Structure 1
Amino acid sequence: MCRECVHEFCKDRGTTCLETGVYYINLKGCVECSTRGELAKAECKREEDEDGAEEISFEHRCSKCDHVVAKHTYSFSVDDGYQEYSMQCGLCGTGSDSRSVLPDDPHRG
């Protein structure tokens, strides 16, 4: 991951969790070739375990010189009646969210 290509490394995004996509507003440009153009996404690696927990990871790369700007990881699972989401990426930021699968969320009274 490259801290020099982004304005704010691992920006706190609150409950925003991107499975795919990119947070372009945080991109300064490629430090290797000075391009502010499009980013290419390396092939997604998708893993799922027997409980249905899912993790998706890929790299944001400069489309001109192939420099790795950031590694993006997104995860989803269901735990004790809650859908749990998280994102970790130097460019897109960090975020997590938890949503009840029940009609009335016991934690939100």
Structure 2
Amino acid sequence: MCTGCVQKEYPDRGNTCLDNGSYLMNFLGCANCQQRDFVLISNKTMVDEDEEEIVTYLHKCKNCDHVIARHEYTFTVVDDYQEYTMLCMLCGKAEDSISVMPDDPRQSAPLF
């Protein structure tokens, strides 16, 4: 993908995992046409395989169709947790895990 279009490659986004959209704060502008405009999402696919959902798409320049980055988002359920990941040169890298139970056992305070 294009390192000239982004401020920082694969910025750490903590637990913010996007299955749609673009992180425009990291977009410098198109290295091909030198315009800083909206970023289009194209070639979006969603695949369900082996209990894992994978969403991929391309970030493209609105003006010249230059490919800025490839975005990948995954979702799966492991044991009692929903697991999310995101990897994209523009949007960054992130992971999150959320309990499917009403009370997350990892958040429980010890009684003593």
TM-score normalised to the size of structure 1?
A: 0.94
Residue 40 of structure 1 corresponds to which residue in structure 2?
Answer: 40
CA positional deviation for 1:90? 0.3
SS at match of 1:103: coil
1:68 paired to 2:67: yes
Residue 7 of structure 1 corresponds to which residue in structure 2?
Answer: 7
| Alpha-carbon distance in structure 1 between the residues aligned to 2:46 and 2:102 | 30
Counterparts of 1:11-90 in structure 2, within 5 Å, are 11-51=11-51, 53-90=52-89
* Structure 2 unaligned regions, length at least 5: none
Letter in 1 for 2:9: F
| Alpha-carbon distance in structure 2 between the residues aligned to 1:50 and 1:37 | 38
SS at match of 1:42: strand
1:93 paired to 2:88: no
Could you report, residue by residue, the CA deviation over 1:26-64 in whole angstroms, capped at 9, with x for unpaired residues?
A: 10000010010111111211100242x200000000111
CA positional deviation for 1:108? 2.4
Letter in 2 for 1:25: M
Number of corresponding residues: 108
TM-score normalised to the size of structure 2?
A: 0.92
Letter in 1 for 2:76: S
SS at match of 1:107: helix
| Alpha-carbon distance in structure 2 between the residues aligned to 1:43 and 1:91 | 16
CA positional deviation for 1:104? 2.1
| Alpha-carbon distance in structure 1 between the residues aligned to 2:38 and 2:66 | 12
State the 4+ residue runs in structure 1 displaced beyond 3 angstroms: none
Letter in 2 for 1:49: E
| Alpha-carbon distance in structure 1 between the residues aligned to 2:99 and 2:92 | 24
CA RMSD of aligned residues (A): 0.9
